[in-house]
């Protein structure tokens, strides 16, 4: 399974401009033999939270429609990052997935809102846990940025059979080492691939983002890594059969002792 991850700078609060930018990235990229393309968190708006009501999609539209067209045109699945999304109760931070035929596959709204970026003042948290979905017959999961700090979420997905977990993010540069360490740790402890798309640049809020989009294999080895300050696409060839070997050699799932884990 071949993956391409887009890392780019988001135009603050400029929805149409960002959609056009993503369309240009797709049209200018080499997507031959690519199975899935991954976008970052809140890529239509950035963290223009004070105006997020104005910028939000209505149940993912019209951004979903634009992604569906790109998926069909380029014959790729799209893990379409996340967008500000109004579903009637308030604005959510919602990730979604579209298949090669442009059909809706999955959505997940961020349950862990970031105190450090004032998300709880402007957004509401998702009301549903992260669940697995299937792309090309393989089970996967997607989480959003701050979710990376909560290992329970990743373990739930891996126990449900996820072989790949996507992390879409706008992760700040001052916590770059946390980003890199936690992505590798989540891959190692769940023996799955972790594919992460982050953004770059400094927004008017003063936050500079860390870049360093990453593809990590189940042994914790980095297959591809972006820089901290360049718009770039990274690629990785994910051998999903490799997971079986890792889980056989280091059988952590068979070794679990659930009866001793108090939080369960």
Active site residues: 41, 110, 145
- Neighbour tally for 123: CB within 10 Å: 23
- Containing H/E element for 70? helix 63-74
Residues 6+ apart with CB under 8 A from 139: 132, 133, 160, 161, 162, 163
Q: Which helix (H) or strand (E) holds 233?
A: strand 232-237
> Torsion angle, CA of 72/21/177/218, rounded to 10 degrees?
10
d(CA 98, CA 63): 11
Angstrom distance (rounded) from CA 25 to CA 41: 16
CA 202 to mean position of chain CA atoms: 20
CA 236 to centroid of chain Cα atoms: 15
Is 83 in contact with 63 (CB distance < 8 Å)?
yes
Tokens found for residue 232? 């770039």
Output the CA angle 40-44-50, nearest 5 degrees: 110
């Amino acid at each position: 399974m071949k993956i391409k991850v887009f890392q780019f700078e988001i135009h603050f609060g400029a929805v149409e401009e960002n959609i056009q930018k993503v369309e240009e990235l797709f049209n200018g990229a080499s997507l031959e033999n690519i199975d899935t393309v991954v976008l970052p968190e809140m890529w239509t708006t950035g963290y223009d939270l004070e105006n997020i009501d104005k910028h939000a999609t209505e149940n993912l539209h019209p951004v979903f429609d634009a992604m569906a067209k790109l998926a069909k045109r380029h014959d790729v699945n799209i893990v379409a990052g996340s967008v500000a999304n109004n579903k009637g109760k308030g604005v959510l931070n919602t990730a979604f997935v579209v298949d090669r035929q442009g059909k809706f596959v999955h959505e997940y709204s961020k349950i862990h809102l970031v105190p450090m970026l004032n998300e709880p003042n402007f957004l509401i948290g998702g009301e549903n846990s992260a669940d697995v979905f299937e792309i090309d017959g393989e089970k996967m999961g997607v989480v959003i940025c701050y979710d990376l700090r909560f290992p329970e979420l990743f373990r739930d997905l891996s126990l449900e059979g996820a072989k790949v977990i996507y992390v879409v993010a706008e992760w700040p540069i001052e916590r770059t080492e946390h980003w890199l360490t936690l992505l590798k740790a989540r891959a190692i402890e769940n023996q799955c691939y972790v594919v992460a798309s982050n953004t770059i640049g400094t927004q008017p809020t003063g936050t500079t983002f860390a870049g360093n989009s990453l593809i990590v294999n189940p042994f914790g080895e980095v297959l591809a890594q972006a820089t901290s300050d360049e718009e770039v696409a990274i690629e990785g060839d994910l051998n999903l059969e490799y997971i079986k070997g890792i889980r056989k050699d280091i059988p952590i799932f068979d070794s679990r002792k659930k009866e001793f884990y108090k939080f369960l």
